[in-house]
Amino acid sequence: MFVNWSNDWIQVVDNLNDVVFDDNENGIHGLITQKHCEKCIAVNQCWFANEKNKKPESMEYSIEQILNDSKNKIGLYHYNCHCQEIDILTPTEKDIKLICPEGKDDWLFRDKTPWIRSLGYENDNAFLEYLKKKVVESYCLGQYEIRDITKYGVAINVFVNIEGRGKNFGKIYTAKSAWMVFSNGKLKCNTFLGGKAK
C-alpha cells in the first residue's frame, strides 16, 4: 500500500524522556516537570502541523552563541535539549481522540446558549456532536494556532466554521474553540466556543 509520508505534520519526541503532560500520576502530584524544562514536557509526543504558529518555535541561536557556547550542545528548544521533530503521517479524523469532561458540555450550554440559538441551532447534543466533528476536521486540516505553551500544557485555538441555519442560512461563522494538545493525537477541551476568528 502506498503510504503518503510528508513533512506536513510532525511529532515532538524526546527519546530520553517518556513523561508526557497527560500522564495522570505526574499531573496529580505536580512533579511533571521535575528535571525537565516545562516546554519539553508540555510538547513531548504531541502532534503539530509543520508551520509557524502551529508548532512550538525552535530556539534561534546566533552565530556568536554557536561559536561561544561550545560547552553546550545546540538543542531544538534550548541548549542540551533532547527534543526532536519527526515527520508523521497527516492525522485523519479517526486518529484524534477528544477528551471532553461533562462540565465542558454544561458550560457551553450555560454560557453560550444565546449565541448557539442566534446561529440557528439548539443547545442540544446534536449541536455538540456537530461542533466536535468540526473541531476534529479543522485540527486535521491544520486550522489552528498555538495560544500558549506553559507548564499547564500546549493551548491552541481551533478555528471552526459553523454554518448558519434558519435566517442565517448560507453564512459561515468562524469561531475559536480552545483545546490543549495532549500526546499522540489527544485534544482536551478547554472551552468549546471561546470567541470568533478575526
As measured in angstroms, the least distance from the Cβ of 102 to other proteins is 5
Residues 167-196 that bind other proteins (CB under 8 A): 168, 173, 176, 178, 190-191, 194-196
Q: Does residue 26 touch other proteins according to CB under 8 A?
A: no
Site string for other proteins, 114-143 (x = CB under 8 A): xx--x-------------------------
**Could you please report the per-residue DSSP string of the chain?**
------SSEEEEEETT----TT-HHHHHHT-TTTTS-HHHHHHTT-EEESSTTTSPPPP---HHHHHH-TTSPP-SSSTT--EEEEEEPPP-GGG-EEE--HHHHHHHHHHHHHHHHHTT--SSHHHHHHHHHHHHHHHHTT-EEEEEEETTEEEEEEEEEEE--GGGTT-EEEEEEEEEE-GGGEEEEEEEEEEE--
Q: Minimal distance in Å, beta carbon 147 to other proteins?
A: 8
Among 4, 64, 102, 170, binds other proteins (CB under 8 A): 102
Binding site for other proteins (CB under 8 A): 22, 24, 27-28, 30, 99, 101-104, 107, 111-112, 114-115, 118, 150-152, 155, 168, 173, 176, 178, 190-191, 194-196
